[in-house]
Chain A
Amino acid sequence: MIYLNEDLCKGCYLCMEVCPRKVYTPSENLNHKGIRVPVFDLEKCVKCQLCTLMCPDQAILIEDDD
Chain B
Amino acid sequence: MIENEHPHKFIKYLRTERLPHLFCPGCGNGIIFNTLFNAIEMSDVDFENISMVSGIGCSSRIPGYVKCDSLHTTHGRAIAFATGLKMANSKQDVIVVTGDGDATSIGGNHLIHAARRNIDLTVICVNNDIYGMTGGQISPTSPKGSYATTAPYGSTDKPFNIAEVAKAAGASYVAKYTVAQPIQVSNAIKEGLANKGFSLIEVIAQCPTYYGRKNKLKTPKAMIDWFKENTISLKQAEDMTDEELEGKIITGVYINKPRAEFIESLDAISAQNSDITPEDNINKAYMGD
A interface residues with partner B (beta carbon < 8 Å): 3, 5, 7-8, 10-14, 16-18, 50, 52-61, 63
Contacts and interface: CB of A to CB of B under 8 A. Distances in A.
Given A13-B220, A17-B220, A58 B2 contact: no
B281 interface: no
A12 B21 CA distance: 14
Interface magnitude class on chain B: 35 or more
A64 B208 CA distance: 33
Nearest to B31: A56
A10 to B, nearest CB: 4
A53 B35 contact: yes
Given A13-B221, A14-B26, A7 B31 contact: no
Contact of A61 (B8, B21, B25): B8
Given A5-B8, A8-B20, A58 B30 contact: yes
20 contacts: A10-B20, A12-B26, A13-B221, A14-B26, A17-B220, A50-B182, A52-B9, A53-B186, A54-B34, A55-B30, A55-B31, A56-B27, A56-B33, A57-B25, A57-B30, A58-B10, A58-B19, A58-B34, A61-B6, A61-B7
Nearest to B179: A54
Contacts of B34: 52-55, 58
Interface string B163-190: 0000000000000000100110010000
A56 B6 contact: no
Contacts of B26: 10, 12-14, 56
A64 B83 CA distance: 43
B221 to A, nearest CB: 4
A8 B220 contact: no
B224 A8 contact: no
B2 A56 contact: no
A61 B7 CA distance: 6
Contacts of B31: 14, 53-56
A60 B11 CA distance: 10
Nearest to A2: B6
Contacts of B30: 55-58
A8 B19 contact: yes
A10 B7 contact: no
A18 to B, nearest CB: 8
A59 B26 CA distance: 12
Contacts of B24: 10
B93 to A, nearest CB: 22
B20 A57 contact: yes
